[in-house]
Structure 1
């Protein structure tokens, strides 16, 4: 994360409060809930995230933990999106620990949300670690898309294009999202002379 962004998070009272939303109080009661739908909470979280009310979504997540209910694979994409949109890397990392505690880290869309969150918080190495730690990632186009898009948005075009080539070598079929990110990577990489002339997929 860039230094100015760290200073902003700690200097802004509103955002600083958000950093404390996901402290360890109540987190110890989180249990594995894969396959269980916490309907009222998840429905409201989805609505808040869709309406771009990200701070409210994080507050609601905190309320859910305090109520004694546990998050599940349907919960995390919405709260991770909220952290990503507010560039709250610390809170996002705390959510990552909740994901592990609940046994949801291998759920495809939770994993994709984690990768996207880290990329949008300028922590691309953590995003790559999430991708590499799960062997199933290398067979899922959604995980490749999240990381390639993250490389692109962080101006790391050569790495994005290299991952696209590895995806093709692994036999994973690309979709329109993949091709768009790969096209941007290719165009920007060649323009900035970051791609060796011998590289081809």
Structure 2
């Protein structure tokens, strides 16, 4: 058995343990020795981050080839419309590639913790929420996808990675779960040629 830490990363915290510029890091919250983040969240993204001391499990969770689904709650500028959701579901042209199809649906405004600092509000421009599930992990992908369909992201919260869910963890809180260790990969022997 291995253990995995489910951590609700607050806004403005780096997904690493050190920073030479003095910004908040995981070391301010996670005190278990020898554990590392399995993947990352941007400085300005909140929500579920997984950490483990099991290198094979860390690789299994974070490697792009695994394509674990990642689910986000996204607050966008403007009232998200059915055509934008349909484009997200088909895949969106980013600069270098078309994204894989995502699961996307509009959400009512969720009852969640306030962000510090708060999201900017404009009296003349409404905001709306959607849930977006992707299997890729391109740089700032969710923000780039919503911008590409005309709805810039204002707030981004990851709520699930595979079967792990944020649940009721408050920002800065963590929960430890026991998991079966990832099986070690065996090296393949070269096949013998028949004479």
Name the TM tier (shorter chain): under 0.3
Question: Which protein is bigger by CA-based radius of gyration?
Answer: 2
- Structure having the larger proportion of residues in strand: 2
What TM-score do the two structures reach when normalised by structure 2? 0.23
Higher relative contact order (CA 8 A, sep 6+): 2
